Amino acid sequence: MGIAASAKVMTFICTRDRARAKAFYRDVLGFKLTHEDDFAAVFDLDGTMLRVSTVEGFKPHEHTALGWQVPDIAAAAKALKDKGVKFNVYDGFGQDALGIWNAPGGGAKVAWFNDPDGNVLSLAQL
């Protein structure tokens, strides 16, 4: 077994403005801030470490950077919408009024939104 197979996963998100990103991940998404160091604000995502790292001049990618599997995507989307989150609507996807896309064949449901830096985040009900 290699080191990666036995190691605990952690993830990273980049930000240009750590204070703004910290408020979003803590106050809007509800994650516990565990600590900060000179390089990042660190959150506990149900046992997975998220480091929100400051990168001057950071430009986000167009693809999903981080997502969460939820049991009820409509309820989760409504809860985030009530906190001011605006869901992304993509041309040709046929998303519903909440921005939820139903995968062909009736499987997954996905809704995308951005953090304050433009990182694409998602909710998925599988």
Please say if the pLDDT value at position 5 is more than 90. no
CATH number for region 64-126: 3.10.180.10
Please say if the pLDDT value at position 121 is more than 70. yes
Confidence of residue 1 (pLDDT cuts 50, 70, 90): low
CATH number for region 1-56: 3.10.180.10
Please say if the pLDDT value at position 3 is more than 80. no
Q: Identify which has the larger pLDDT, 104 or 13.
A: 13
Q: What is the pLDDT of residues 54-103, one digit of tens each?
A: 999 999 999 999 999 999 999 999 999 999 999 999 999 999 999 999 99
Please say if the pLDDT value at position 117 is more than 80. yes
Question: Helix (H, G, I), strand (E, B), or coil: what is residue 64?
Answer: strand
Element (H, E) at 82: helix 73-82
Q: Where are the domains of the chain?
A: 1-56, 64-126
Quick one: pLDDT at residue 64? 97
Average pLDDT value for the chain? 94
Separation CA 123–CA 75 (nearest Å) = 11
- CA dihedral for 16, 22, 25, 28, sign (positive or negative): negative
